[in-house]
Amino acid sequence: MPSQSVTALITGASSGIGAVYADRLAARGHDLLLVARNEARLRAQAQKLSSQYGVTVDILVADLNDPADLRKVEARLATDARIGMLVNNAGFGGAGTLAQSSVDDMERMIGVNVTAVMRLAYAAAPAFASRGAGTLVNIASIAAIAPEVLNGVYGGTKAFVLAFSRSLHKELAEKGVRVQVVLPGATGTEFWDIAGLPSSNLPESWVMTPQTLVDAALLDLDAGVFASIPSLQDETQWQAWEAAREVMMPNLSSRMAAPRYESADAHEG
């Protein structure tokens, strides 16, 4: 397949969901810029994808919790006109309670899951908008809307990704930039091992393969779907969630407190 002119930059590209995005986008003809910490894995993957699909695959070794490394990735996004797609995939999680978790680990989680996602989007969005074209995919989690299921800081970081993506979707739509947020459920990747809860401990019926997840998310991207939740069997449930949110929005701010806060004396007077 001939290479497309658009290069896709994928963070967390050396394994799991990011590695599958790399494979699927290369199969579609995209050149790639793969970002991760593990240089050996990146080089092996770049060689494999380049040979298999005939595309150009570059690598950028970076730890997104390192400010200097993060700035390197930002600079490529802001200045390399070939890059027309960003997959903000890098992230890590935790399954422990607040009392069980290291606050320093939680701060590092925020660095990758929030700060890096935000800064890379800030680097990419103006460049994409100036060209009137581009695609931004942010990987969130079902924990964005169900923070009770995992570590609370993790859920909070993914709630940020969902809210941030929603704002970007509205802001960039008229500038030719597509924004999608993907909310994976339990997925069979190294993520769970790192989080301290191997996916082998979960019911088999809960765990989706990363290949199934990415293929579904890309179908949604092609169809213009903003929020992709491949594991949600009944999409009308998400539509009901969204409809309820939109009904509330005009009523969330008021000078007056709601009548339910009036005292009994006020009613009597």
Catalytic positions are: 154
Is the Cβ–Cβ distance between 211 and 188 less than 8 Å?
no
Distance CA 141, CA 181 (A): 9
Beta carbons within 8 Å of 151's beta carbon, 6+ residues apart: 93, 94, 95, 96, 97, 101, 106, 195
Say how many C-beta atoms besides its own lie within 10 A of residue 194's C-beta.
13
Distance CA 141, CA 152 (A): 13
Say how many C-beta atoms besides its own lie within 10 A of residue 124's C-beta.
26
